[in-house]
Amino acid sequence: MAVDTSSYDDLRRVIEGGRLPAREMVRIEELVNHFPYRYPLPRPQDGKTFAAALEVAAAPWAPTHRLVRIGLRSRDEPAAAERLRAIARDVRIDVEFNPAKVSSYRLIGYENPRLRKEDYAADKAGGVDLVAGHTLTALFEIVPMGAEERRVADRPAADDLRYQASVVVSTRLETPTQNAALSNELLMVTVHYRNPGGIFSMSQTQEFPLTDAGRAFADASADFKFVAAVAQFGMILRGSPHRGAATMGDVMAWATAGASSNADDPRGYRGDFIGLARKTQVLLR
């Protein structure tokens, strides 16, 4: 998924000018990806192109729901022959949910994540190309099985993937057949890509499973708390029906918890966001 991150700068100009932005200006996926996070690099000795930082905790705006953060980072130092040709070609990211654990889900920041399976098959060209050191962040809100009726999102008919429900991070959705079993996995992230050797190079895959240990939001990492604050900021400005009862004051508290040390915010981006949230709170009164 290629994500433009200019939305944050546009919002800042409007808010610092003393106005609230129009709803259509607020693109949550761009706000989330504007900020740097401490995602691990793939280890050169493993010969892998991608590393993942996956985390799940309670959604702070809906405590019975779970919030999943998916962070991916591409290899930072490609071989010299690869530098001019991007780090991976035709990249697609599938996120499959285990229906034994997940009742429903939504990809935060996207309105219509459905396309046909043939539109994103791993052997079909047309995905995005990634350069060295590229990072990608996506957030899912999940209703756990048994927590409540499915209302965050619904599912189309079955197909043939790992569990019985899958969504593609690049805003495409699909569902598979059997194999739901009694796995402890909450979800599986699968990255499909080709090496930069040309359009006919063989498709490669990397898989990253995630289990849910039931962590509370208060026990989540600083990165997780901060990205949740950014998502809530966007949902409030958009008037999202999913924003829950959280306020801009909560946004500032969560973001502050996610920027509690210099290590969390070495370039001051998070402090800038907290200041912007404070100005937005005044405009909302």
Res 96: pLDDT: 94
Instruction: Please indicate whether residue 70 or residue 4 has the higher confidence score (pLDDT).
Output: 70
- Give the pLDDT confidence score for residue 134 in this predicted structure: 84
Which helix (DSSP H) or strand (DSSP E) does residue 172 occupy? strand 172-174
Average pLDDT score over residue span 2-15: 82
User: For residues 108 and 139, is the Cβ–Cβ distance under 8 A?
Assistant: yes
Average pLDDT on 195-208 reads 77
Tell me the C-alpha distance between 118 and 124, whole Å. Answer: 8
Name the band, by pLDDT with cuts 50, 70 and 90, for residue 155. very low
Residues 58 and 181 in one domain: yes
Tell whether 73 and 16 lie within a shared domain: no
In a shared domain, residues 210 and 175: yes
Task: Dump the DSSP string for 19-66.
Answer: -PPPGGG--HHHHHHHS---PPPPPGGGT-SEEEEEEEEEETTEEEEE
Domain boundary residue among 200, 215, 230? 215
Q: Has residue 258 been placed in a domain?
A: yes
Per-residue pLDDT for 163 more than 60?
no
Whole-number Cα distances in Å, 274 to 106, 218, 257: 26, 18, 11
- What's the rounded Cα separation, in Å, for the pair 255 and 115? 34
- pLDDT-derived band of residue 240, with 50, 70 and 90 as boundaries? very high
Average pLDDT (225-232) is: 98
Q: What percentage of the chain exceeds 70 in pLDDT?
A: 73
- Taking CA atoms, 243 is separated from 60, 103, 145, 154, 236, in Å, by 10, 19, 21, 19, 6
Tell me which of 192, 215, 238 is where a domain ends: 215
Mean pLDDT, to the nearest integer, of 64-74? Answer: 95
Q: What is the average per-residue pLDDT within 159-163?
A: 50
Do 206 and 135 share a domain, yes or no?
yes
Query: At 187, phi and psi to the nearest 5?
Result: -160, 170
The answer to whether residues 147 and 44 belong to one domain is: yes
CATH number of the domain where residue 156 is located? 2.60.40.10
Q: How far is it, in rounded angstroms, from Cα 138 to Cα 30? A: 10
What domain count does the chain have? 2
Considering the domain architecture, whether residues 21 and 64 belong to the same structural domain is answered as no
pLDDT at 203: 82
Q: Is residue 100 part of a domain?
A: yes
Same domain, 75 and 130: yes
Q: What is the mean pLDDT of the chain?
A: 81
- Domain span at 188: 37-215
Percent over 90 (pLDDT), the chain: 56
Query: Is 255:273 a contact under the CB 8 Å cutoff?
Result: yes
50-59 and 62-74 strand pairing: antiparallel
The pTM of the whole model exceeds 0.85:
no
- Same-domain pairing of 199 and 230: no
State the pLDDT at residue 4: 59
Residues 100 and 227 in one domain: no
